[in-house]
Amino acid sequence: MRIRDHAHLSDEALVALVARSDEGALAELYDRVGGIAYGLAYRVLRDEALAEDAVQEAFLGLWRAAATFIPERAKASTWILTLVHRRAVDLVRREERRRSEPLDEAPEGATGSAEDNAWLHLERERVQGALRLLPDQQREALELAYYGGFTQSELAERLGQPLGTIKSRMFSGLARLRELLDDSAERGSWTTTSS
C-alpha cells in the first residue's frame, strides 16, 4: 500500500515531500494528524460537516504552502493544527455573518438579472469543463461530495476505499481543478466546448 511507504519518515520530512507534490506523503500526514485535526475543528465548529470542511481546506492549504514550512519554528504537527484552527475560526466567522444577515439583504437566488443568470450559466459550464479534465477517480469523488452531498466518510464507505485515499483524491482533485480554472481565467476562456 503506497501510503505506508512513508511510515518511517518524520512529520517534517513528510512536509518536505508534500512540498515536492508527493501525494503519498500528504496521505501519511493525514493518517497521522487527521483525527486530531478533526477533533480540534469539531471543538471549534460543533458541526461535523463544517469540521470536515475545515480539515480538508487546511490540508489543501498544506499542499499549497508546504514549501513555506520552517521546521526550526515549530513541529510539523503543530503547524498543521494551526492551519486547521485558523480555517475553523474562519468558518465560524463566516457562519456567524451568514446567520446574522437579514433576510431582505440576502443575496438573490435564481431571481437575479438575466445578465447574472447568463454569467452563472457560463461559469457553471467552465467548472464542468474543468471537472471533465480531471482523472476519473478525482472527478468521481468531487462530484459525489459537492453535487451528491456525500461526506468523505460516506464516500469511503460507498466507494469501498480507505478514508485517507478519498481525502487524497479530493485534495489533489481540488488543487488540479483550481489550476485548470485559474488557467482558463488567465486565457479569458470563460466558456468550454461541449462534448
More confident residue, 25 or 3: 25
DSSP string covering the chain, please?
Answer: -GGGGGTTS-HHHHHHHHTTT-HHHHHHHHHHHHHHHHHHHHHHH--HHHHHHHHHHHHHHHHHHGGG--TTTS-HHHHHHHHHHHHHHHHHHHHHHHHHS-GGGSPP-TTS-HHHHHHHHHHHHHHHHHHHTS-HHHHHHHHHHHTT---HHHHHHHHT--HHHHHHHHHHHHHHHHHHHHHHHHHT--S----
Instruction: Write the pLDDT tens digit of every residue in 115-173.
Output: 777 777 777 788 888 888 888 888 888 877 776 677 888 888 888 888 888 888 888 88
The pLDDT, as a whole number, for residue 190 is 44
Distance of alpha carbon 54 from alpha carbon 92, whole angstroms: 10
Q: Which CATH fold would you assign to the domain 1-101?
A: Rna Polymerase Sigma Factor; Chain: A (1.10.1740)
Show me where the domains of the chain are located: 1-101, 113-195
Rg of the Cα trace of the chain? 18
CATH topology of domain 113-195: Arc Repressor Mutant, subunit A (1.10.10)
Residue 111 has pLDDT above 90, yes or no: no
- The C-alpha atoms of residue 39 and residue 42 are separated, in whole angstroms, by 5
